[in-house]
Every structure is written in structure tokens, then in C-alpha cells.
Amino acid sequence: MAAQASFTGSPEFPIDDVDAAVLETTWEWDDMHMPFPLAPLAADYTVRILGASFNHHYERFGGTQTLEARVWHGYTYFGFSWNLPAAEEDAAKARWTEAVRARIAATPAYWRDEAMPALGRIYSSLDAVPVDELAPEALVAAWREAWALTLDAWRIHFVSIMGPYQVLEDLSDQYAAAIGAGRDVEALSLIRGDVHELEEVESGIEALAAMLAASPALAAAVATQASGVADEDRLDRDALRAAPGGPAFVAALDDFLDLHGHLGQNHDDLAAPSWAELPIGLLRSLGQRAARPGGAAARLEELNEVAAERAAAVRAALADRPIELARFETTLALAREIGYLTEGHNYWIDRMAQARLRGLVTRIGRRLVRAGVIDRVDDVFFLGADDVAEAILDGAPRHAIVGERRAELERQRTITPPRYIGPIPEDTGPSDRFDSVRIESTVANELRGTGASAGVVRGPARVILSQDDFGRVRQGDIVVAPSSNPSWVPVFTIAGGLVTNTGGVLSHAAVVAREFGLPAVVGAVEATSKITDGRLVEIDGTAGTVRLL
């Protein structure tokens, strides 16, 4: 790809830790998954696990490409290369598409018979490390093995999603050929309405909210705790049990957390706690959900009706093209079987692997606190992966370096990172359905993005950057966020619409929004900066526009 300029550093964002060859690659900031700077241990997680896991499936299925991750000044960048002369790239892309397409039919058996059992073994191993019983050398060995196992989980991640994303690409293309171009949202609505992980999360939240609605005293007790300062010991279950309906609510909450407590992280940041560790963020959203009567079943029925109508329209359009119709029927059946894994994998791998490894990190952090190595459990995140191993072995204090790195992370939060490091592309090429080309609007008081979930709605904007902000969302608010994932289900059941800085029609935010029938515009450039909290906005989830009213 031609380049018109190259970013090799600035006084605010120096790049002085690499040789010149590294800067021959274009590195793009991943502001979808890691929009904020990372502490050292989370940065290692991104590079050593998330970044390293890509190349496994490239190699396994015959790709020539490689992808690497680097973290500069706390911000995550990915560099990609086909490793071929430019003239050979198109042919390599075509071969890779066919390799990915071949995974579609293989995915159901792979996910059921290989991926899920392997993930279960990995997570059980991480949970079972007896941190307090092991000698230092044995704990270091277990620590290193835990990182290797988590890397295995993420390798499973990329094999698992090959078929699901491709079948939805194929479904969108075939829908366009039958009905007309520019209707990806309609095409992807064909797979909505089935009950999978996200619907189970919603049902659990709905049941908890119903308990609060039935007991004002219990709702008040929950609100009291949710309004406090969040820390891992904050939830007082005894106080909740003392309220009318409290024992049943606490039992139901614990059951919910046993199933879904690995959710709760805003983004791919190892330092972010899950609901199981810190339920306060979940509780903050339940009060608003209690004010809204249950509607999950009705919504699923409506989604199924829309899907059936649109499938019927395609069948009518292809009635005189039997070969294309047969291809569509096959694609639709496979899309309905595995398409949910475009977000289901995030539930089972992205969120769960992160929560399981973080659980081990915090247990080790407690051991290091008792040994006087660090002052607070979360200080451990300011040590790198190798630093943690060394600290376990030598037991020397790390207070000074933790303090320095905490201060550095705060400084990094004030930085606006460059989108690209190295050659800056003249253009970003054709639109990608996972992360579309960012479009700057030329119309006053309007933002442009990708229409990701149909519907026109207006309401006050609520800028949400983390779970700490969930309690500010009111019925009908338009949630404005950097991106989202399954952890955002509690606010999606309350909100009137969604706008994100990043994403395309197959992004996490778009998939979740469609599952909840939530009008959404994704990839609206710097929406969280350009839209003021409380500003009345109107979004069109088909046209991809956000109007500031």
C-alpha cells in the first residue's frame, strides 16, 4: 500500500525503542479492543497472548500473512504483512478466503468436540493453581504454564471464528445479490432470534431486576451498596439478605455470577475486574432495569418474525434462480447454526480467558502483598510477566517501581496517540465489515458512521467509558462508547440506542445491538469526544448518521 507520510515519533509520543526495520511496517492503533493505555502486565497480555495467537491459524491453514502486536506508551498497535510482493497479494487473499470458507462446515464439530472441551481444561487448570501452597520455583513454573495455556485458548479463538465470520460475509453478499446492495443490516438480521449466551445473560438480569421490582426495600438496599465506592470487598451480602426478598435475591445473584461472572470487563485489559470479583457495576444497572418490565421473550419473537419475512423476500427474489436459491438456503442454515459465535466466542474466550488469568494474577498479588513485595493487590499489574516471576523468587520490594509506573500510566492517559506508526496509508482500502473505514462528516452537527442495527431514535446521549458509568444510564438514553462487548448487556437492555467510536456491521458492538433490537451506529469517529454527555441526539441505525440536536 502506498504511503504519503510516515510517523516515526514525536516529543509527546517518541518511538526510540526499535530499529528502523520495525518502522517500515504500518502499525495501527487498536482503539476498538484497547482504547485506553495499559498497565505493564496488561500490555504483556496483549503482546504475548492476544497478538501472538493470530499467527497460529495463519500457519495452520496455509496463510502467508503475519500479525504482530506492540505497545507504545501504553497504547496497543498491530502490524500486519502478507509477506509477499505487492503483485502477489491479491492471489494470496483469494486463497486465504477459500481456506477460511472451508472452515464453515467444520465449525460446529470443532466448537463442540474440540474447542469447548479444551477451553474447559484450560480454565480448570488456571483455577486450580494452589498459589499459597507452592514453593517459589514451583509457583513460577505454574505462572509460566498459565500464560502458555491462555495462549492456547486464544489460538482456539482464532480457529473458532474463521467460519462464523466468513459465513456472515457470504450471507451478506448473497442477500445483496438478491435484494440489492447496501443492506448488510437486513442480511445479518436473518440470524437473530435464537437463544444463546447473550440471551441467557439478559434473562438472568431480567430475573434479578424483577426481584428488585417486587421489593422496594431490597431495591433500596442494592442502590445503597451500588452507590458506594467500588472495591472487591464492597458487596455486603448479609445486608442484602436482611431485606425482604433478600435471601432469594442473593442466591439468584450468586447463581448468575457462577454462570456469567466472568463478564464485566469493558475492554481487553487484564487489569479490569469481572463481575464475579466486583459485582457493583452489575448492581448499578439493575435498579434501572427493574423499572422496565420484562420483554426478552417478546423481543425474540419479534426478531424471529422479521428474520422469517426477510428470508421469504430473498426466496421470492431468487425463485427463478434455483442454483442461487439453493446456495442461499445452505448459507442461511449454516449462518443460523454458527453465526452466533461471532459474539459467543467473546463470551467463552475473550472474557473468560481474561477473567481466569486475572484470577490467578490477583491470587499471586495477595501473596506478594503478604510478603511485603507490593502494598496493594492491584500493584501486581504494574509488574510485567517476567517481573512477577522474579518478584516471586527474590521477594524484594517493588514499591518504588510500582509507584513510578502508576504515575506513568496516569501521564499516558493524557496522551492522544497517533492512529498509525510507520508508513501512514494514503487510504484504508475497501470498507471492512468488522471495522469499517472511519468517515468524517462534512455536515454541521452530524457524525457519520456505519449503520449497524436498524431504527431511528432520539434521546439524551450518555457517554459511557467504563462499567463505573453504567449506573448513569437511564431508560431511552443513547449510549455513546468507544466500543462494546457482552459485558455491556446490562445497559443494552435499558438504552434507546448505541453509538460507538469504532466498528463495522460485524463488530462486537453491532452484533450485540442487533441481538437486542437496539438501533446502532458504529465507527462514528471520536463520538465519545464530540458528543457531550446529556446532548439530545438522533441516530439512524440504517443510514449510519448521528445528528446533534
CB-CB contact of 524 with 448 (8 Å) = yes
Q: Which of 137, 115, 60 is nearest to 353 (CA)?
A: 115
Contacts of 31 (CB under 8 A, 6+ apart): 482, 483, 501, 502
CB-CB contact of 497 with 451 (8 Å) = no
Half-sphere exposure of 410 (CA within 13 A, CB side): 6
Give the span between the Cα atoms of 549 and 538, in whole angstroms: 7
Half-sphere exposure of 421 (CA within 13 A, CB side): 28
What's the sign of the alpha-carbon dihedral 198, 203, 208, 214? positive
Residue 311 corresponds to which amino acid?
Answer: A
Say how many domains are in the chain.
Answer: 1
Give the span between the Cα atoms of 225 and 202, in whole angstroms: 22
436 within a domain of the structure (yes/no): no
Give the span between the Cα atoms of 480 and 497, in whole angstroms: 9
Tell me the three cell numbers of residue 238: 448479609
CB-CB contact of 27 with 79 (8 Å) = yes
Query: How far, rounded to the nearest angstrom, does the alpha carbon of residue 254 sit from its chain's CA centroid?
Result: 24
CB-CB contact of 463 with 548 (8 Å) = no
CB-CB contact of 170 with 331 (8 Å) = yes
Listing DSSP states for 335-358 in one string gives HHHHTTHHHHHIIIIIIHHHHHHH
**pLDDT value of residue 232:** 47
Mean pLDDT per 10-residue section of the chain, whose length is 549 residues: 75 88 92 95 97 95 95 96 94 95 97 98 98 98 98 98 95 94 89 81 91 92 75 74 95 96 93 91 80 72 89 96 96 95 94 97 98 97 98 97 98 95 76 74 88 92 87 90 87 89 87 87 91 95 92
Output the CA–CA distances (angstroms, integers) from residue 377 to 80, 228, 274, 333, 352, in the order listed: 36, 20, 15, 48, 21
Give the span between the Cα atoms of 415 and 480, in whole angstroms: 21
**pLDDT value of residue 440:** 78
Tell me the three cell numbers of residue 486: 457482552
470 within a domain of the structure (yes/no): yes
**pLDDT value of residue 498:** 94
* Residue 531, SS3 per DSSP: coil
Give the span between the Cα atoms of 142 and 155, in whole angstroms: 20
372 within a domain of the structure (yes/no): no
| Phi and psi, residue 266, nearest 5° | -70, -40
CB-CB contact of 370 with 189 (8 Å) = no
272 within a domain of the structure (yes/no): no
Residue 277 corresponds to which amino acid?
Answer: E
Give the span between the Cα atoms of 119 and 160, in whole angstroms: 12
10 within a domain of the structure (yes/no): no
467 within a domain of the structure (yes/no): yes
* Residue 297, SS3 per DSSP: helix
**pLDDT value of residue 341:** 94
305 within a domain of the structure (yes/no): no
CATH number at residue 482: 3.50.30.10
What are the residues facing 70 on neighbouring strands? 77
CB-CB contact of 235 with 280 (8 Å) = yes
Q: Which of 461, 446, 482 is nearest to 534 (CA)?
A: 461
Residue given cell 506508526 in the structure block: 421
Give the span between the Cα atoms of 10 and 17, in whole angstroms: 13
**pLDDT value of residue 470:** 84
**pLDDT value of residue 429:** 53
Question: Which residues span the domain enclosing 491?
Answer: 446-548
| Phi and psi, residue 420, nearest 5° | -125, 145
Give the span between the Cα atoms of 379 and 384, in whole angstroms: 11
b/e string for 312-348 if b means 16 or more Cβ within 10 A? eebeebbeeeeeebeebeebbebbbbbbbbbbbbbbb
Helices 508-515 + 197-214 axis angle, to 10: 60
Paired sense of beta strands 75-81 and 446-448, if any: unpaired
pLDDT tens for 97-114 read 999 999 999 999 999 999
Give the span between the Cα atoms of 475 and 536, in whole angstroms: 14
515 within a domain of the structure (yes/no): yes
